[in-house]
Amino acid sequence: MKHLLAALILTPTLGLADGIKIEQPIVPLAPPGSMVHAVFMKITNTGNMPRQLLGAVAEGYHTAHIHLSEEKDGIVSMTAVDVIEIVPGQTVALEHGSFHIMLMRPIGEQVEGDTVTLTLVFANGASETVDATVVKMIHGQS
């Protein structure tokens, strides 16, 4: 899997991810010293072919995985996900309690307002660069 991602990212003929719309990419500000950060966003397939998100590479982190947080019978767990399938017209929300891109082992400290640049990698060889903003989450004001 890792090799596949590396191969896709290094392919010079890489195109932009036509038909993919990214909205509200954010990285919640994590407690100081955190070795993991999350990226949330909405991904919409505006094209007419199903698309598969395979993973991401983030600048400033050693690795990034797609993860799914789930709660079942009062137990919360996280699992790595190999692919997120997005059919035409569908919006998949990477959000609290569902999917996120987990950024592991940050190289530097993160502060509010920072930008994290990541590259989403799709199964058709396309990639999409996303600038996610580090934001302090405000709770209880919905």
Partner 1 sequence: MKRLLQIIAFGLAGPAVAQVQGVELEEPVLMPDFAFSNELEETFTREDLNDSWTLIMFGFLSCPDICPFTLGNLEAAVAETGMRVRPDNMPKVVFISVDPERDASWVSDYAKFFHPQFESFTGERSQINTLVEATDSFYRLLDPDHTGYYEVQHSSAVSVIAPDGTLRAKLQPPFDPGLTAEFLARLQISYRKELIK
Beta bridge partners of 61: 106
Select the residue interacting with partner 1 from 7, 35, 49, 87 (CB under 8 A).
Answer: 35
Cα separations in angstroms, 60 against 40, 48, 64, 96:
17, 34, 10, 23
Least separation in angstroms between residue 104's CB and partner 1 is 8
Q: With contacts defined by CB under 8 A, how many residues of the chain interact with partner 1?
A: 30
Q: Which residues between 42 and 101 bind partner 1 (CB under 8 A)?
A: 67, 69, 71, 74-79, 96-97, 100
Q: Confirm if 121 and 57 have CB atoms less than 8 A apart.
A: yes
32, HSE (Cβ side, Cα atoms, 13 Å): 0
Please report whether residue 108 would count as binding partner 1 according to CB under 8 A.
no
Segment contacting partner 1 (CB under 8 A): 6-14, 35-43, 46-54, 82-90? Answer: 35-43
Angle at 121 between CA 116 and CA 124, to 5 degrees: 160
Element (H, E) at 8: helix 2-10
Least separation in angstroms between residue 119's CB and partner 1 is 19
Residues that bind partner 1 (CB under 8 A): 28, 30-38, 67, 69, 71, 74-79, 96-97, 100, 102-104, 137, 139-142
